Amino acid sequence: MAAAALESRLGYRFRRPELLEQALTHRSFAADNNERLEFIGDGLLGCAIAEELFQRFPQLAEGRLTRFRSELVRRERLAAIAESLELRPELRLGTGVHVTPAILANTVEALFGAIFIDGGYEAGRAAVATAYGELLAALDPRAELKDHKSRLQELLQAQGRKPPQYRLTGKQGPDNDLRFEVSCLIAELSLETYGSGASLQKAQQQAAKAMLEKLAA
């Protein structure tokens, strides 16, 4: 494991290198894995992002801050951060286990948790701020933060149409990486789109996004 290079990308040097190794260890590889570190890292991440947003945007109300935080801590963002940290070759996985967005996202949370255990909250918060630097800098408080479902419903209301119907069409994958599949139907227009996600809500959002794109085409 190229620990020094990874520590450089994280902006943190471990006093207990075994914590870094544990954070990179999937449960398929060893019993001493990163799940507990992931648990505490998830809590640290939410708190650190909330603090960053609170400091950066004193004019924003609680609802807007919550939406920003939700956008920043979702699985896809964490998986992208894992790629920017070049984590794939550092992961310790069992034989035959393939890298998934869930594994990447969980590992990033475990790394934040390991830093918290090794160096305390300030070290963990600084690591989060470093990893999220570009994403935080790109945030625009004037941007429209309505989710896809809200935007679609408002569009249909403005057209005098009924709200869309969402239906669960299936579930795929193992319990630790379950994907929900959902359809979005506008019966009046005979239009139907599909979405998938790690939760029912995320799958609905993806289906709504696809419908907005179809209506805009």
pLDDT digits (tens, 9 = 90+) for 178-192: 899 999 999 999 999
Whether 57 and 141 have beta carbons less than 8 Å apart is answered as yes
Instruction: Give me 88's structure tokens.
Output: 């794939």
171: number of Cβ within 10 Å: 13
Whether 24 and 113 have beta carbons less than 8 Å apart is answered as no
CATH T-level fold of 148-216: Double Stranded RNA Binding Domain (3.30.160)
What mean pLDDT value characterizes the chain?
92
Lowest mean pLDDT among 59-68, 72-81, 142-151: 142-151
The full set of domain ranges for the chain reads 3-138, 148-216
Is 1's pLDDT higher than 60?
Answer: no
How far is the C-alpha of 120 from the C-alpha of 39, rounded, in Å?
15
Are domains 3-138 and 148-216 of this chain identical in fold?
A: no
Q: Which of 21, 90, 109, 118 is catalytic?
A: 109
Instruction: Give me 209's structure tokens.
Output: 């996004």
Kindly indicate the confidence band of residue 216, based on its pLDDT and cuts at 50, 70 and 90: confident
- Considering only CA atoms, which of 167, 196, 166, 174 is closest in space to residue 75? 196
Q: What does the pLDDT look like over 12-34, one tens digit per residue?
A: 999 999 999 999 999 999 999 99
Architecture of the 3-138 domain? Orthogonal Bundle (1.10)
How far is the C-alpha of 110 from the C-alpha of 114, rounded, in Å?
6
Instruction: Give me 137's structure tokens.
Output: 């800098």
Q: Which of 42, 52, 90, 118 is catalytic?
A: 42
How far is the C-alpha of 138 from the C-alpha of 141, rounded, in Å?
10
pLDDT of residue 61: 86
43: number of Cβ within 10 Å: 14
Q: What does the pLDDT look like over 130-168, one tens digit per residue?
A: 999 999 998 888 765 567 888 898 889 888 899 999 999
How large a percentage of the chain has pLDDT more than 90? 71
Is 175's pLDDT higher than 90?
Answer: no
Q: Is 109 a catalytic residue?
A: yes
Lowest mean pLDDT among 5-14, 33-42, 103-112, 142-151: 142-151
Q: Is 35 a catalytic residue?
A: no
